[in-house]
């Protein structure tokens, strides 16, 4: 029995699984015994979430429930088995988790959430991968995952002869550079507000809010396309609804600009890791704006790399439309490292 978790800034998904064969990738999905979702921000610590889940598992399944391995993908840098989450006031470490779960520390795995998503892409069904650009796949080439959600996560999969290696990154916090002179006012606006302009300030849920605030900064309240009382946390959902359903011109423009920035950053990741094996777009946002993204300016900006435009045109781009990709990856990591 494996306990797996996908710990994000918005929600935490925990589940118990058994079976599955990590060597039979695409057909290896395990049997789900129990799975629950929790709103992350309602809990001051992860331990409280885990304790609630374990209590329910024992009452639902058996008091003698035995967990053999535990694996958690968490949004934040994991160093020596410890993680201070980026968008939550939580600290997780394998020592305390092993104590809480009453299993040996060597059987508890804590990995970056984008590393979990990377592992999940190797096991997710093809039906959950939607093609944005067919490209010319290189089966031995590196792959990258770019995942805008509450924040922006990025990871790399390398394929040496010994088998896949997942490389965690904190690339979402690297600097954003304007792609053309029209971007300079936006850069100045964000620099004045934050003092450092990372790509996550634009390509994420908070990025959608930042873009909306920038584009509407000089409008009277009566001319705003969204309710002026909306918080930054509520703007992304309202903006995408206004763009995709209500066809509001300004919100449509903002959302398309967001897609162009996502394309720009995905192209940057390809060049930095020579990801001829392709790009996976994951995270909560791409699947929520899927119809819009498929017809957006993403590919125009993804391929706009000067002398390397032809290379980018041949890179496969797929959208991961699997809400369980992170927890599936946490399970896959545990089964592959037993």
Query: Could you give the CA distance from residue 124 to residue 331 in angstroms, rounded to a whole number?
Result: 12
Mean pLDDT of 128-145: 94
- DSSP string over 136-202: ---TTS-EEEEEESSSEEEEEEE--TT--EEEE--GGGSBP--SSGGGHHHHHHHHHHHSS-BGGGT
Which of the residue ranges 8-17, 189-198, 205-214, 248-257 would you say has the lowest mean pLDDT?
A: 8-17
Q: What pLDDT, in 10s, does the model give residues 193-220?
A: 999 999 999 999 999 999 999 999 999 9
Residue 169: which of 150, 149, 181, 152 has the closest Cα? 152
At 315 the pLDDT is 98
Q: Residue range 222-237: average pLDDT?
A: 95
**pTM (2 d.p.):** 0.88
pLDDT at 64 over 90: no
CA distance 176 to 85: 22
Q: Is the pLDDT of residue 176 over 70?
A: yes
- Say if residues 67 and 103 touch (Cβ distance below 8 Å): yes
Q: Answer yes or no: is pLDDT of 291 > 90.
A: yes
Residue partners of 58: CB distance under 8 A and separation at least 6: 65
User: Average pLDDT for residues 264-275, to the nearest whole number?
Assistant: 97
Contact assessment for residue 330 and residue 116, using Cβ atoms and an 8 Å cutoff: yes
Q: Which residues pair with 317 in a beta bridge?
A: 133, 279
Predicted confidence at residue 29, as pLDDT, reads 67
Which residues contact residue 48 at a Cβ distance below 8 angstroms, ignoring those fewer than 6 apart? none
- Answer yes or no: is pLDDT of 31 > 60: yes
pLDDT at res. 150: 85
302-335 per-position pLDDT tens digit? 999 999 999 999 999 999 998 889 999 999 999 8
Q: Say if residue 281's pLDDT is above 90.
A: yes
Cβ(96)–Cβ(135) below 8 Å: no
Element spanning 41, H or E: none
pLDDT score, position 24: 53
Q: Read off φ and ψ for residue 226, nearest 5 degrees.
A: -120, 160
Q: Is the pLDDT of residue 96 over 80?
A: yes
Residues 21 and 28: beta-carbon distance below 8 Å: yes
Spatial separation of the C-alpha atoms in residues 278 and 141, rounded to whole Å:
8
Q: What's the whole-number mean pLDDT along residues 224-242?
A: 96
Three-class DSSP category at 120: helix
110 Cβ contact partners less than 8 Å away, ≥ 6 residues apart: 71, 72, 74, 78, 81, 82, 83, 92, 93, 94, 97
């Amino acid at each position: 029995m494996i306990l797996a978790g996908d710990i994000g800034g918005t929600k935490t998904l925990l589940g118990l699984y058994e079976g599955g064969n990590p060597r039979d990738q695409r057909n290896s999905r395990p049997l789900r015994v129990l799975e629950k979702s929790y709103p992350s921000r309602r809990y001051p610590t992860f331990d409280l979430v885990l304790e609630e889940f374990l209590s329910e598992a024992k009452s639902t399944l058996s008091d003698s429930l035995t967990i053999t391995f535990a694996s958690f993908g968490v949004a934040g840098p994991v160093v020596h088995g410890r993680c201070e989450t980026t968008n939550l006031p939580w600290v997780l470490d394998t020592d305390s988790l092993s104590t809480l779960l009453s299993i040996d520390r060597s059987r508890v795995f804590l990995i970056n959430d984008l590393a979990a998503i990377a592992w999940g892409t190797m096991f997710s069904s093809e039906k959950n991968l939607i093609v944005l650009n067919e490209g010319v796949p290189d089966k031995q080439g590196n792959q990258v995952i770019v995942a805008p959600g509450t924040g922006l996560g990025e990871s790399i999969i390398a394929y040496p002869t010994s088998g896949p290696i997942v490389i965690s990154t904190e690339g979402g916090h690297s600097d954003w550079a304007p792609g053309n002179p029209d971007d300079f006012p936006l850069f100045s606006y964000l620099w004045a507000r934050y003092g450092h302009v990372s790509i996550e300030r634009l390509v994420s849920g908070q990025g959608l809010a930042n873009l909306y605030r920038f584009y509407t900064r000089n409008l009277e309240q009566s001319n705003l396309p969204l309710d002026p009382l909306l918080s930054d946390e509520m703007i992304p959902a309202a903006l995408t609804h206004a763009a995709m359903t209500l066809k509001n011109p300004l919100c449509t423009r903002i959302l398309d600009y967001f897609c162009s920035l996502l394309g720009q950053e995905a192209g940057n990741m390809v060049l930095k890791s020579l990801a001829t094996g392709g790009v996976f777009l994951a995270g909560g946002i791409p699947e929520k704006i899927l119809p819009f993204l498929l017809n957006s300016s993403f590919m125009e900006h993804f391929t706009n790399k000067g002398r390397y435009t032809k290379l980018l045109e041949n890179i496969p781009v797929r959208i991961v439309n699997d809400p369980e990709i992170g927890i599936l990856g946490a399970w896959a990591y545990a089964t592959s490292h037993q």
